[in-house]
Amino acid sequence: MKKQLLVLGLAIAFVSCKNDTKTTSENLTISKTEVEAVEKREYPASVLAVMNAHGGLEKWNTMNNICFAFDGKGGEEVHTVSLKNRKSKIETDNWTIGSDGETIWVLENEEGSYKGNAAFYNNLMFYFYSMPFVLSDDGIVYTDMPQKELEGKMYNATKISFNDGVGYSSTDDYILFSDPKTNQMSWLAYTATGASKTKSDKFSYIKYGEWQNVNGLQLPETLTWYNVENNEPKDKRNDLVFKKVTLTETIIDDSVFAKPEGAK
């Protein structure tokens, strides 16, 4: 029964990402007031410059869903996210993680097939992948920093921190590094404090080396994680290649993210 539910869930999500007929006006959960509130927020010039280099925040705000896939440790993962309310689903052959906006749930094909912290992983890859646009989220504090040299090149730097209670761990910090000539995002440094809720000065590094045009916006094609020595990126650790990327104005039906029978 669980396997049947998992296969059904995969089918629904793929249709939702690729077929604009999967939604109806009866399920519009994103209000005009919410959209206007996003558009009226003010951002530092440095952050806006990076977003403009990737297609612009105004264009991003017209989009309502994103879907992408990559080959993870357990095989292909398909990620589907409703952008305005961040309801989400991550699907593999063996397990599915979902969030209906209130509850994060896990459906396993076989008992114990998912090993990890679902609450932590739920929107983690979406956040990395949707840079720099997710840096327009509410509750963010921006701090311009001195330029920094990485692999022999100088980059502009902006520190991103969060107000208390924002996200899974508001004690995390990010540093966005961008090319001074093109304003294109080049690196991301981040801390992962998790359940400790304690600030850390130990940064991990991701290089945003290749980009792809998706519906008028520049989104990552490849992310490269680096080994770190003395809080600096030293050498490449692994690449993650993104595929089957869609980004559209379609509002996905809430039922796609609902907790299914058998999930925990």
pLDDT of residue 110: 87
233-250 pLDDT, tens digit per residue, is 999 999 999 999 999 999
Record the tokens describing residue 255, joined without a space.
Answer: 């039922």
Q: Which residues pair with residue 72 across a beta bridge?
A: 75
Can you read off the two tokens belonging to residue 55?
A: 């297609």
CB hemisphere CA count around 31 (13 angstroms)? 3
DSSP E strand stretches across 100-184:
104-108, 140-150, 153-162, 174-178
Cα separation, 148 vs 163, in Å, equals 25
Q: How far is CA 135 from CA 103, 142, 226, in A?
A: 24, 9, 22
SS3 state of residue 17: helix
The whole-number pLDDT of residue 40 equals 53
Which residues are 158's β-sheet partners?
A: 144, 176
Which tens digits make up the pLDDT trace of 151-191? 999 999 999 987 664 455 557 889 999 999 999 999 999 98
**Contact status, residue 144 vs residue 46, Cβ threshold 8 Å:** yes
| Neighbouring C-beta atoms of residue 8, cutoff 10 Å | 11
Q: Provide the whole-model pTM.
A: 0.82
CATH architecture of 2-257: Clam (2.50)
| Distance in Å from the first CA to the final CA of the chain | 15
Structure confidence at residue 198 (pLDDT) = 62
pLDDT in the model for residue 36: 46
Element (H or E) spanning 14, and its range? helix 2-18
Closest CA to 196 of 171, 233, 225: 171
Report the alpha-carbon distance of residue 27 to residue 212 in Å, rounded: 31
pLDDT < 70 stretches in the chain? 1-41, 163-170, 193-199
| Spatial separation of the C-alpha atoms in residues 143 and 251, rounded to whole Å | 33
**How confident is the model at residue 42, as a pLDDT?**
81
Q: What is the pLDDT of residue 4?
A: 39
Query: What letter would DSSP give residue 137?
Result: S
Nearest-5° Cα angle at 251, 245 to 253: 105
CA distance 124 to 254: 21
What would the 3-class secondary structure string for 82-95 be? ECCCCCEEEECCCE
Is the C-alpha dihedral spanning 160, 161, 163, 167 positive or negative? positive
Output the pLDDT for position 199: 66
**97, 108 contact by CB (below 8 A):** no
